[in-house]
Structure 1
Amino acid sequence: MSDQHFDVVVIGAGPAGEGAAMNAAKHGRRVAIVDDKQTVGGNCTHWATIPSKALRYSVKQIINFNTNPMFRDIGEPRWFSFPRVLQNAERVRNKQVKLRTGFYARNRVQRFHSRARFLDQNQLELHDEETGGQRITADSFVIATGSSPYLPPDVDFSHDRIYNSDSILTLSHTPRTITIYGAGVIGCEYASIFCGLGVKVDLINPGSRLLSFLDDEISDALSYHLRNNGVLVRHNEKYESVEGDDHGVVLNLESGKKVRSDAFLWCNGRSGNTGSLGLENVGLETNYRGQLAVDDHYRTQVPNIYAVGDVIGWPGLASAAYDQGRSASSDIMADRYFRYVDDVPTGIYTIPEISSVGKTERELTEAKVPYEVGQAFFKDLARAQISGDPVGMLKLLFHRETKELLGIHCFGDQAAEIVHIGQAIMNQPGEANTLDYFINTTFNYPTMAEAYRVAALNGLNRIF
């Protein structure tokens, strides 16, 4: 058993852990990263963001081929199996692992493939199959262990037809029908993916509307297009039991309904990966979902122990996790780049995708802010007509009197890219953050970015 001391030890090699470790290493600190997986990247690379988005991209290509009349000269529509489209996701995942492994090597961050457990606020015990256990010490720790699907104990996830949002990537066939329980971001994304593969999808939503944190109009558009593509959405339904047999799965709902399908996918919440960290040895407690509370500098109640990423809950996005990790590290380094990450755009990779930043109409109405709306519909944009992706819209919310930008909401192809133009202008100081920027700026034509000019003029016409 050998003791090693580090300036910073990061637990978890996902986006949050990487952000913290790289920043500390760039400051010349001695840094170690501990992760129980053989390869780096965390759940983001191996089970969540990267594979699901790569899968979604492949499915979107299939949809484009099957619905574009130009390709009918080549042949009939083609259908692809779920395992086949997963092959592209596997290639992307391998490239990401290779890239990120290089980051740690170049910056001389020592990696430990082990399970970590706190002995006290400056000491970790590491357990792995090879060494059996060793101890390392550090001045500061960053917990970035991420999250896993919340698995209720009354659902048998060992059944070969019952999946969660991680294990669905092991699906070895294409079911004819699938029931998805939980209509959050992950549930809606997988509903889009499976219906794009020609699978009959039942999407069960315990709530009253899809993605209620979105602007109502965007949420309604998502609901319409899922249904238009064949997804059956059931709102205000809670499960009573899930029964699997050799032929399929029956979801029994509290309302008395029974939904039978070839496969069942549970997408109802995630829990922080904190159960084995020995937090009781440092006096830390988690909430019922295994998440840690932090202050506005990402510090837990133990001053030298920080927590970032999914393990602290909201917003549960890889983009925010990376920035939170960098910020926590900046606080440890006492550099000038610390910021509390609260300006986070949503990126939802349904088909079509959704992205937004800022206030919704409902929030502005409740706050009695005198706002107005500017809209640009993709069907009217030359670039969308050329690319064959006419579904969608860009919506700008702005103050009626000052024309200050208050919210950007986008639905349609490339929404997650388009939103950043508006985000950049919203973050400008003073009068630079107004509708006038888009009116007085010349955009390339034809582009999707031109939607900002169209929406701004539309909004301007509403106040004259």
Structure 2
Amino acid sequence: METADVIIIGSGQGGVPLAADFAKQGLMVVLFERDLLGGSCINYGCTPSKAFLAAAHAAGRVRQAEDLGIYAQVEVDFPAVMERVRLIRARWHQGVQKRLHEAGVRVVYAQAYFTGERTVTGNNVTVQAPLVVINTGTTAATPKIPGLAGTPYLTNRNFFDLQKLPPRLLVIGGGYISLELGQGLARLGSETQIIVRGERVLDHEEPDVSETLAEALKRDGIQIHFHANTQKVTYNDNLFTLELDNGQQLQGEALLIATGRHPNTSALNVAATGVELNEQGYIKVDEQFRTTCENIYAIADVAQQPAFTHVSWEDYRRLKAILHGENRTRNDRVLAYAIYTEPQVGRAGMTIADAHKKGINARCVTLPMSDIARAIEWGHDLGFYRMVIDTETDLILGATLVGYEAAEIVHVFVSLMEAGATWQLLEKSVHIHPTYGEALPSLARGFVE
């Protein structure tokens, strides 16, 4: 058995900088990785998906430019689109390899599992260390639909390996992955249908967010089947057939499964080191990422943190500070995220419903995109801006933006909220005309009595 100063399991966006920082401090760091360095973000998440959507949304905007008096035929070289995606992914992956190598991190390519207290084994290498960090992330969950197993269905894991554009795409799931990738393939030329179990897409968002996105998908020619469950999958002669519980049969050359995630903990044998899991299989941690075994920590989505790269990276900064004696916690920053459909969804902090559940006397104002000069001029009038405030303190509690490049604009609210600003500060700001950001002070003026 070998010894090290630090063991890190998983090379996601939290594990890699932790490993590199510890190694640069002169510590012996061993990182176990069972798959590709860089975790889901670089290999089958943010990096490839946004490179893919760059092409898809470019095509979509051209097709929808008729309202501007622009008429064009769009020709998509799908193999070239996907080759560019894979080249960008490979470049980022190589960057992670270089970073770890230059820092002096020892990488063991193997499925890691605990064989004793703070003792980890993988590929015939057993290492014990006084500090262990688990950063193994999550994997696409596969529903137990009769006939699905053994078919060449897609998840975000293998989606970016597509070589040919499927003429017809079927998508099971109504979350952000299904919407981003489903809209993306539709804009590149696939006839797309989405099967949603409930009454709306993005059911974790506010209802009018769901309604806006459903309308956007409809404009792209996407058909959504609500209140529909897939009872059976058949795959014959390169064709998927789905039987729905409403009696419908849908067919397509490709099937994308995007029905949620589950934590990568089943192979870790955490019981051997006294680490406990919750009922969903996530690692139990306290507010400072401590597991139930002393000096073992878990960060990011395997610890049921919000499944976003920027959260994982901030968890790295949080844990590093905690280990140096600082008082940081797992929820000590404003949570913001985005959905990269078109229009985009940008979210920061609380919704009005979140605030009321917490017992806060809150109110909100909403400004339609159709009232924003820049949106009208550019033909991006689908969506809205919304801000939530605490009526007793005037502090900004949250924002929901649905519109063109909302993921960029929402950062205004992130900074204001981190600074403890009130809505009056935004209201008296002078933003440039004509911009999308110009609408934010106008939004705040909705609170003026």
Is TM (by shorter chain) over 0.5?
yes
Partner of 1:108: 104
CA shift at 1:408, angstroms?
0.5
In the alignment, does 2:324 pair up with 1:334? yes
Asked if 1:212 is matched to 2:237, the reply is no
Shift of the 152–366 alpha-carbon distance from structure 1 to 2, 3 Å rule, reads closer
Map 1:56-455 onto structure 2 (within 5 A): 56-68=53-65, 76-127=72-123, 133-152=124-143, 154-160=146-152, 162-287=153-278, 289-331=280-322, 333-336=323-326, 338-341=328-331, 343-365=334-356, 369-384=360-375, 388-400=379-391, 402-429=393-420, 433-455=421-443
Query: Do 1:23 and 1:326's aligned partners in 2 also have CA atoms closer than 8 Å?
Result: no
Q: How far did residue 265 of structure 1 move?
A: 1.1
Secondary structure (helix, strand or coil) at the match of 1:119 reads strand
User: Residue 258 of structure 1: CA displacement?
Assistant: 2.3
- Letter aligned with residue 100 of structure 1: V
Structure 1, 368-377 or 4-13: larger mean CA deviation: 368-377
Q: Residues of 2 paired with 1:92 and 1:390: CA distance?
A: 32
Residues 17, 366 of structure 1: CA spacing in aligned structure 2 closer, same or farther, 3 A cutoff? closer
Shift of 1:159: 2.4
* CA distance in 2 between partners of 1:320 and 1:365 (Å): 25
Give the Cα–Cα distance (whole angstroms) in 1 for the partners of residues 394 and 317 of structure 2: 34
Gap change, CA 1:95 and 1:413, over 3 Å in 2: farther
Shift in alpha-carbon separation, 1:70–1:256, aligned structure 2, 3 A = closer
Contact residue 251 and residue 259 of structure 1 kept, 8 A: yes
Matched position secondary structure for 1:339: coil
Give the alignment's TM-score, normalised by structure 1: 0.88
1:359-397 C-alpha deviation (Å, 9 max, x unpaired): 223334556654433334444445445655443322112
What SS class does the counterpart of residue 387 from structure 2 fall into? Answer: strand
Provide the secondary structure at the position in 2 that maps to 1:291.
coil
- For the residues of structure 2 that align with 1:81 and 1:149, how far apart are their CA atoms? 28
Structure 1, unpaired ranges of 5+: 128-132
The CA deviation string for residues 216-274 of structure 1, in whole angstroms up to 9 with x for no partner, is 22222112211232222222222222111115211122333322222211111112222
Deviation at 1:406, TM superposition (A): 2.0
- CA distance in structure 2 between the aligned counterparts of 1:115 and 1:319, rounded to whole angstroms: 25
Q: Is the 8 A contact 1:375 1:393 kept in 2?
A: yes
CA spacing shift, 1:403–1:216, aligned 2, 3 Å? farther
For residue 403 of structure 1, report the CA deviation from its aligned partner: 2.8
- The answer to whether the Cα contact below 8 Å between 2:20 and 2:104 also exists between their aligned partners in 1 is no
Contact 1:115 1:126 (8 Å CA) reproduced:
yes
Question: 1:58·1:88 contact (CA, 8 Å) conserved in 2?
Answer: no
Aligned residues: 447
CA spacing shift, 1:107–1:383, aligned 2, 3 Å: farther
Q: Write the letter of the residue equivalent to 1:338.
A: R
Residue 42 of structure 2 corresponds to residue 51 of structure 1: no
> Unpaired runs of 5+ in structure 2?
none
Measure, in 2, the Cα distance between the counterparts of 1:275 and 1:248: 33
Percent of aligned positions that are identical: 24
Whole-angstrom distance in 2 between the partners of 1:107 and 1:446: 47
Structure 1 residue 8, shift from structure 2 partner: 1.5
- What RMSD in Å do the two structures reach over aligned CA positions? 2.6
Q: 2:27 aligns with which of 26, 29, 51?
A: 29
Distance in 2 of aligned mates of 1:280 and 1:363: 36
Distance in 2 of aligned mates of 1:295 and 1:458: 40
> What letter is aligned with 1:24?
F
Label 1:274 to 1:79 Cα distance change in 2 as closer, same or farther (>3 A): same
Within 1, Cα distance between the matches of 2:355 and 2:125?
A: 55
CA contact (8 A) 2:82 2:162 kept: no
Return the alpha-carbon distance in structure 1 between the equivalents of residues 24 and 65 of structure 2. Answer: 49
Please, which moves more after superposition, 51-60 or 81-90? 81-90
Partners of 2:20 and 2:370 in 1: CA distance: 43
Deviation at 1:186, TM superposition (A): 0.9
Inter-CA distance 72–452: structure 2 relative to 1 (3 Å threshold) = closer
Counterpart for residue 14 of structure 1 = 12
Query: What whole-Å deviation, never above 9, does each CA across 1:168-223 have from its counterpart, x for those lacking one?
Result: 22222212221111111211212221221232222111223222221222222112
**Equivalents in 2 of 1:438, 1:198: separation in Å?**
42
Residues 375, 456 of structure 1: 8 Å contact kept: no
2:364/2:387 contact within 8 Å kept: yes
Amino acid at match of 1:450: E
CA distance in 2, matches of 1:436, 1:262: 54
